[in-house]
Amino acid sequence: MSHITKIEIEVTDLTALKAACKRLNLQFIENQLTYQWYGKRIGNEPLPEGIILENLGKCDHAIKVPRASYEIGILKENNRYRLLWDSWKSGGLEQVIGKGAGLLKQAYGIEKTKSEARRKGYSLYETSHKSGAITLKVSLGGGVV
């Protein structure tokens, strides 16, 4: 069964999304107009808000995930980007980027934070933990927060 769903994250910075892809060894493919998914809607799961049946599989950019047969579609909507994917297990996306795309969300959050810190002239220190957790410390000139 195939389910196209929205990855619940607000993406406003395509550069940070590209950096997140690089961090996870995913391939950001600019101007790719379709993304791989099951190819037809099965079942009666609701479509993501604002998406019509005829537009499934269409996008402005895409993310290719190693060891997965499906891709993530990136749709531009005003000043934001919507990430769509077919979450069905046979596509292999969740096995690589985590349940609900958790690893991609984490990577985007880190890269967006780093970008904003640099933009404001702050220093940022990143520490990775064995558990998979990541700590970011921002230096505001005189000290670390």
**Partners of residue 61 on adjacent β-strands:** 74
State the pLDDT at residue 46: 83
State the pLDDT at residue 4: 79
State the pLDDT at residue 21: 98
State the pLDDT at residue 1: 42
How far is it, in rounded angstroms, from Cα 61 to Cα 33?
6
The total number of residues written for the chain in this structure: 145
Profile the chain (145 residues) by mean pLDDT over runs of 10 residues.
76 97 97 94 81 91 96 95 90 92 94 92 90 86 56
State the pLDDT at residue 141: 66
State the pLDDT at residue 63: 98
SS3 96: helix
State the pLDDT at residue 83: 95
| pTM summary value | 0.88
Residue type, 122: Y
How far is it, in rounded angstroms, from Cα 24 to Cα 141?
30
State the pLDDT at residue 2: 54
State the pLDDT at residue 115: 93
Domain ranges for the chain, please list them: 4-139
State the pLDDT at residue 5: 81
**Residues ≥6 apart with Cβ < 8 Å to 63:** 21, 26, 27, 28, 29, 35, 71, 72, 74, 83, 104
**Residues ≥6 apart with Cβ < 8 Å to 33:** 58, 59, 60
Angle at 27 between CA 19 and CA 25, to 5 degrees: 65
Residue in the block written with tokens 């230096």: 139
How far is it, in rounded angstroms, from Cα 104 to Cα 133?
13
